[in-house]
């Protein structure tokens, strides 16, 4: 099946079986390996991408569903100011992520903070749980999220 869509702001297309998983299409067909193909069951969040401005687990999306839609991966997000906000916020908070989680954690934090400009406790929980991680202390991550939010608010005001 020919799938036409927009990938990281560029119109593109790919010829693949309709039910191939979006995660595999992006990793194998476009070499976008920042998203991980980990649990494959919608549990870990490590395959998250932005589909028409919503965060989705790309391991759960058959590729035919993205026809005519817009997909953003961490590789595209890395070109945005939002990415720099997260990078700075996490650095200031002393957040050290493993290489496996860092790309997706950065993407989900940045995108959810677009939605929650001043996140409350419930929204911080949602950001924290967007990626399953057993190594980084939640308090450190929380600090990183709050610092990112402050950095972003400052940038948007200036
Ligand atoms: S690989 Fe998709 S949620 Fe874990
Ligand atoms: S940052 Fe990768 S498991 Fe925690």
Q: Going residue by residue through the chain (158 aa), what tens digit of pLDDT does each one get?
A: 999 999 999 999 999 999 999 999 999 999 999 999 999 999 999 999 999 999 999 999 999 999 999 999 999 999 999 999 999 999 999 999 999 999 999 999 999 999 999 999 999 999 999 999 878 899 999 999 999 999 999 999 98
Q: For 62, which DSSP code?
A: B
101 Cα–ligand 1 center, Å: 12
Backbone φ, ψ for residue 97 (5° rounding): -100, 150
Q: Are 4 and 13 in contact (CB under 8 A)?
A: yes
Same domain? 103 vs 139 = yes
Same domain? 56 vs 19 = yes
60 Cα–ligand 2 center, Å: 21
Domain containing 146 equals: 81-157
Distance from the Cα of residue 31 to its chain's centroid: 16
108 Cα–ligand 2 center, Å: 14
**Ligand 2, pocket residues at CB < 6 Å:** 97-98, 100-101, 133-136
Same domain? 66 vs 96 = no
Q: Residues for the chain: how many in total?
A: 158
Q: Are 49 and 131 in contact (CB under 8 A)?
A: no
Same domain? 150 vs 102 = yes
Going 105 to 107 to 110 to 116, the CA torsion angle's sign is negative
Angle, CA of 29, 52 and 152, to the nearest 5°: 105
Which of 73, 96, 116 is the last residue in one of the domains?
Answer: 73
Q: Which residue from 86, 101, 128, 138 has its CB within 8 A of the most atoms of ligand 2, so it is best to mutate?
A: 101
Which atom of ligand 1 lies nearest, measured to the CA of 58? 2
Backbone φ, ψ for residue 15 (5° rounding): -105, 110
Same domain? 86 vs 149 = yes
Nearest ligand to residue 106 Cα: 2
Based on the structure, what is the number of domains in the chain?
2
Token pair, residue 117, equals 């400009």
Same domain? 68 vs 101 = no
From 55, 110, 53, select the one nearest 85 (Cα to Cα). Answer: 110
Q: Are 71 and 5 in contact (CB under 8 A)?
A: yes
33 lines ligand 1 (CB under 6 A): no
What lies within 8 Å, CB to CB, of 91 at 6+ separation is none
Which of 45, 73, 101 is the last residue in one of the domains?
Answer: 73
């Amino acid at each position: 099946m020919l799938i036409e869509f927009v990938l990281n702001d560029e119109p593109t297309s790919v010829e693949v079986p309709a039910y191939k998983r979006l995660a595999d299409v992006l990793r194998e067909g476009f070499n976008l390996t920042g998203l991980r193909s980990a649990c494959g069951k919608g549990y870990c969040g490590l395959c998250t991408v932005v589909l028409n401005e919503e965060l989705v687990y790309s391991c759960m999306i058959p590729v035919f569903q993205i026809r005519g839609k817009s997909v953003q991966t961490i590789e595209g997000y890395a070109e945005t100011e939002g990415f720099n906000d997260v990078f700075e916020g996490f650095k200031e908070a002393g957040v050290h992520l493993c290489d496996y989680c860092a790309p997706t954690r950065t993407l989900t934090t940045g995108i959810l903070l677009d939605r929650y400009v001043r996140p409350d406790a419930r929204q911080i929980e949602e950001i924290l749980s967007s990626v399953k991680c057993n190594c980084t202390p939640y308090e450190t991550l929380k600090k990183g999220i709050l610092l990112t939010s402050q950095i972003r608010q400052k940038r948007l005001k200036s």
